[in-house]
Chain A
Amino acid sequence: GAVVSQHPSRVICKSGTSVKIECRSLDFQATTMFWYRQFPKQSLMLMATSNEGSKATYEQGVEKDKFLINHASLTLSTLTVTSAHPEDSSFYICSARPTGTGNQPQHFGDGTRLSIL
């Protein structure tokens, strides 16, 4: 089955640090990947859609300069939380769908727990 790998699984860092999270599709190509944020006991909220070779599409209320997305290849998207602050602490999850499969489910990584001190 389609596997999505996310790294790191957990990050603890000081306020003001920038943190990069990687999302890789291991056995398929993904033109589009998705980044979600999840607060405790809540559902997943889409932050942005990452498009290979072009700019990401951000959801309303998500600062593109704060959450930098790069999708440089068909198997890798990165999310960089710039100058992170305690309010950025959350569970960040990426997903991907094999290219050309619009009617197939998205496959999710195991998330990154970000804790800003």
Chain B
Amino acid sequence: GESVGLHLPTLSVQEGDNSIINCAYSNSASDYFIWYKQESGKGPQFIIDIRSNMDKRQGQRVTVLLNKTVKHLSLQIAATQPGDSAVYFCAENSIAGNMLTFGGGTRLMVKP
């Protein structure tokens, strides 16, 4: 998701459903991508990462998909829970470099 003005795009899902959060990145030279979760009033928390030599990586209840052709990244959350409610940011980096560039963020709201 990309921010539009001052409003974060919001994804609302029912508890137990699967969630898919999307991100478009801009730098074709980026070779390392990270998803972060940010709860209100807290700093970003690492969820999962993926390097450009992969197109899919799975963690516990989360899967990241990378499509380098269209510069698209997605985060899939299985069996979404109320505790998953937060803002999710993708970030891109060059392994050789230091700096992270963050996407605009998507707010995930889980309805019980």
Query: Contact residues of A with B, CB < 8 Å?
Result: 4, 6, 32, 34, 40-46, 49, 93, 95, 97, 102-103, 105-111, 113
Q: Which of B13-21, B63-71, B77-85, B98-106 contacts A (4 or more CB under 8 A)?
A: B98-106
Task: Report the bound CA distance from A108 to B47 in whole Å.
Answer: 12
User: What 0/1 readout, one digit per residue, does chain B (75-112) give for beta carbons within 8 Å of chain A?
Assistant: 00000000000000100000111111111110000000
Contact in complex: B95, A103 (CB < 8 Å): yes
Contact in complex: B42, A105 (CB < 8 Å): no
Tell me which residues across on chain A come within 8 A of B43, comparing CB atoms.
Answer: 4, 6, 93, 95, 108-111
Total count of chain B residues near the partner, CB < 8 A: 27
Task: Report the bound CA distance from A43 to B89 in whole Å.
Answer: 8
Tell me which residues across on chain A come within 8 A of B100, comparing CB atoms.
Answer: 34, 46, 95, 106
- Given known pairs A42-B6, A43-B103, A43-B104, the reply for A105 and B34 (CB within 8 Å) is yes
Contact in complex: A41, B8 (CB < 8 Å): yes
Query: Contact residues of B with A, CB < 8 Å?
Result: 3, 6-8, 32, 34, 36, 41-46, 49, 51, 89, 95-105
Contact in complex: B98, A111 (CB < 8 Å): no
Tell me which residues across on chain B come within 8 A of A108, comparing CB atoms.
Answer: 36, 43-45
Chain A nearest CB from B4 CB (Å) reads: 10
Contact in complex: A105, B46 (CB < 8 Å): yes
CB-defined A-B contacts under 8 Å, sample of 19: A4-B43, A40-B6, A41-B3, A43-B3, A43-B89, A43-B105, A44-B44, A44-B89, A49-B99, A95-B44, A97-B98, A102-B96, A103-B95, A105-B34, A106-B34, A106-B100, A108-B44, A110-B43, A111-B41
- Which residue, A93, A97, A108, A109, has most C-beta atoms of chain B within 10 A? A108
Contact in complex: B42, A111 (CB < 8 Å): yes
Chain B nearest CB from A107 CB (Å) reads: 7
Q: Contact partner of A43 among B45, B95, B102, CB < 8 A?
A: B102
Contact in complex: B98, A49 (CB < 8 Å): yes
